[in-house]
């Protein structure tokens, strides 16, 4: 897998980053989607938890998460995409 690194690289701490060390692809996408959703919930009157966001929002934010992961992993520059 392109995200497996034998050692920490530039910009990494000694433990490696979540993107490079993750072996649970679906879990990483879900975690990032939820974090992105929560980061947009600044209006407390309309804010809802990720679990209550609804399937359409889940789909859209998972797509956004996959796009971000692909870009960060180099897929945007012709590299291998994230599954």
Question: What confidence tens digit (pLDDT) does each residue in 23-74 have?
Answer: 899 999 999 999 999 998 888 777 899 999 999 999 999 999 999 998 888 7
C-beta separation of 65 from 37 below 8 A: no
Rounded CA separation 27/33 (Å): 10
Contact in structure between 29 and 3 (CB atoms under 8 Å): no
Report field, pTM of the whole predicted structure over 0.75:
no
How much is the pLDDT for 59? 97
Alpha-carbon distances of 69 from 21, 38, 81, rounded to whole Å: 13, 18, 9
Domain range annotation of the chain: 24-77
Q: Which of 18, 24, 56, 21 is nearest to 37 (CA)?
A: 56
């Amino acid at each position: 897998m392109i995200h497996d690194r034998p050692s920490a690289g530039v910009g990494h701490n000694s433990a490696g980053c979540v993107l490079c060390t993750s072996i649970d692809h679906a879990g990483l996408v879900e975690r990032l989607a939820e974090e992105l959703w929560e980061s947009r919930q600044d209006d407390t009157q309309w804010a809802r938890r990720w679990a209550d966001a609804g399937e359409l929002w889940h789909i859209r934010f998972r797509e956004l998460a996959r796009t971000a992961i692909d870009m960060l992993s180099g897929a945007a520059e012709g590299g291998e995409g994230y599954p």
